[in-house]
């Protein structure tokens, strides 16, 4: 029998929202690890579709359909994860997260947000395409322990560097941890721009940020 993760991956690759929802319902009913199915199922399917797009084998409407199928499943799984997260005390501190200015990609950022919440952070999700000055303002007002930005495009990655400078200019850079992520972002890029933490995926973000506060 195929694992639910494999079914989740195949359902996204088939652009089939009915199937992704069906898999999500079974994940909940069968008490399978939601995190596991998101990371090893739905996300893998999305990555495969991305690779097909890069190889010009599928086109933008396919990506939009795959994203819609994944989001339909996430709409069901997120409240379930939140229920699990409600048991966590949020005692690890406040964490702001957003997709950076110019970037509307939000699926990965939202997964990271929910996983950090489940791990015990008090997460404030500022949304997508968030202006740099809005991010700085939110940091000034909300005084989080950290701020995470997602960049899925080479054209928006550069804003992560500008944000570092703007936080310095605002005099608050040393009062928080900066965490960068997104498919084109690497440890090398984080080092180059002076970001504190690079995370490859949601589990990595949870592990590294938890280690920082503990």
109 binds ligand B12 (CB under 6 A): yes
Interface mask toward ligand B12 for 185-204; x: CB under 6 A: --------------x-xx--
135 binds ligand B12 (CB under 6 A): no
Q: How far is the CB of 106 from ligand B12 (least distance, A)?
A: 4
Long-range contacts (CB closer than 8 Å, 24 or more residues apart) made by 44-53? 44/5, 44/9, 45/8, 45/9, 45/10, 45/11, 45/12, 45/13, 45/70, 46/12, 46/70, 46/107, 48/9, 48/12, 48/13, 49/12, 49/13, 50/183
69 binds ligand B12 (CB under 6 A): no
Pick the piece of the chain touching ligand B12 (CB under 6 A) from 9-17, 79-87, 101-109, 163-171: 101-109
Would you give the DSSP letter of residue 201? S
Nearer to ligand B12, 4 or 116 (CB): 116
Of the candidate residues 3, 33, 84, 154, the single one contacting ligand B12 (CB under 6 A): 154
Strand order in the sheet with 197-198: 122-130, 94-100, 146-150, 177-181, 197-198
Nearer to ligand B12, 47 or 88 (CB): 47
User: Are 166 and 137 spatial neighbours (Cβ–Cβ below 8 Å)?
Assistant: no
78 binds ligand B12 (CB under 6 A): no
Structure token pair of residue 204:
């990595």
Interface mask toward ligand B12 for 37-56; x: CB under 6 A: ------x--x--xx--xx--
Of the candidate residues 97, 118, 123, 126, the single one contacting ligand B12 (CB under 6 A): 97
Helix (H) or strand (E) holding 112: helix 107-119
Q: Which residues lie closer than 8 Å to 124 by C-beta, 6 or more apart?
A: 94, 95, 96, 97, 138, 142, 144
Structure token pair of residue 128:
């997508």
Pick the piece of the chain touching ligand B12 (CB under 6 A) from 13-21, 85-93, 132-140, 145-153: 145-153
Contact footprint for ligand B12 (CB under 6 A) = 43, 46, 49-50, 53-54, 63-64, 67, 97, 102-109, 111-112, 148-150, 152-155, 179, 181-184, 199, 201-202, 205
């Amino acid at each position: 029998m195929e694992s639910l993760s494999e079914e989740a991956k195949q359902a996204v690759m088939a652009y089939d929202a009915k199937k992704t929802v069906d898999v999500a319902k079974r994940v909940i009913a069968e008490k399978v690890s939601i995190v596991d199915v998101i990371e090893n199922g739905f996300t893998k399917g999305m990555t495969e579709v991305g690779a097909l797009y890069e190889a010009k084998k599928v086109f933008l409407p396919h990506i939009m359909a795959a994203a819609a199928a994944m989001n339909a499943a996430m709409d069901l799984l997120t409240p379930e994860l939140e229920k699990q997260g409600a048991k966590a005390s949020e005692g690890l501190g406040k964490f702001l997260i957003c997709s950076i200015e110019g970037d509307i990609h939000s699926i990965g950022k939202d997964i990271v947000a929910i996983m950090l919440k489940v791990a015990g952070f008090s997460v404030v999700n500022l949304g997508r395409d968030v202006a740099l000055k809005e991010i700085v303002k939110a940091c000034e007002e909300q005084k989080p322990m950290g701020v995470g930005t997602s960049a899925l495009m080479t054209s928006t990655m550069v804003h992560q560097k500008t944000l570092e400078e703007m936080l310095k200019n605002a005099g608050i850079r040393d009062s928080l941890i900066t965490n960068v992520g997104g498919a084109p972002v690497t440890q090398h890029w984080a080092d180059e721009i002076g970001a504190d933490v690079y995370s490859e995926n949601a589990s990595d973000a949870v592990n590294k940020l938890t280690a920082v506060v503990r």
